[in-house]
Structure 1
């Protein structure tokens, strides 16, 4: 049954990623993959926040962690698209943009995860639930 729930959560994450990607792409025309960067940063923040919330909200069931973390957020973010877009930037003579994309994705992704985790820390110490 867990597989079904992970699949359903994955469908929600994938549809959210697709819709948000279309929305962001409708405003952006540069070769820089803004939509994927934006989506991955949101996902990094959410996983950081949820990880802290799950760890400090008592003992959440491993199934819930898997459904939300692997299913929904895992399908919302995408390393494979990041990788392919980086290669495409290089092949289309945008090597500097590719380097910037890799740097920003890693640096801001780690910062977003840390920030989400810190926000989770601050809210859990006050007993609030966001």
Structure 2
């Protein structure tokens, strides 16, 4: 038996190679990055327009940004999931990128810590509870209003 005879081709078709991950996910990663930069810039602008005086002050800007961003998420998701079909990259760009960069729950955590360190535990724990409750209420209310006003139906 020669060395050429011992090497045989596999039976059946050759397995297909998967495309590189970046080829399939590249556009989504790119639009999330661009959207995130835009959202973060908008959040930074809000902080410049309405700065928190010091660590012991109530962080109104962060609360407003998070609640507003969550309300917009409620409107956006109802429109793209229950309304007209949207481009496949719209959700990662706007929902994950822009609104993910705009809302800032990491700053929320730093603000809570700042209030606690500044000796304002009641305000800190109040803010700790208020933010997620207000954010959830904003999503719920905005989604409900969008269904009624824009789509003309109630769920």
TM-score range, shorter chain: 0.7 to 0.9
Give structure 1 stretches of 5+ with no counterpart: none
The reply on whether 1:34 has 2:34 as its aligned counterpart is no
The Cα of 1:25 is off from its aligned counterpart by 1.6
Give structure 2 stretches of 5+ with no counterpart: 1-26
Misfit runs of 4+, over 4 Å: none
- Could you tell me whether the CA contact under 8 Å between 2:31 and 2:92 is conserved in 1? no
Q: How many pairs does the alignment contain?
A: 126
Q: TM-score, normalised by structure 2?
A: 0.74
Q: Which residue in the other structure is 1:121 paired with?
A: 147
- Counterpart of 1:55 (choices 78, 81, 93) is 81
Per-residue Cα deviation, 1:32-84 (whole angstroms, up to 9, x for no partner): 11110010000010001101111112333442111111100000001111111
**Looking at CA atoms only, which structure, 1 or 2, has the larger radius of gyration?**
2
Compare relative contact order (CA 8 Å, sep 6+) and give the higher one, 1 or 2: 1
Q: Which residue in the other structure is 2:38 paired with?
A: 12
- Could you tell me whether the CA contact under 8 Å between 2:31 and 2:89 is conserved in 1? no
Structure 1 residues 2, 125: closer, same or farther in 2, change over 3 A?
closer
The reply on whether 1:79 has 2:125 as its aligned counterpart is no
Question: Which structure features the higher share of helix residues?
Answer: 1
Q: TM-score, normalised by structure 1?
A: 0.87
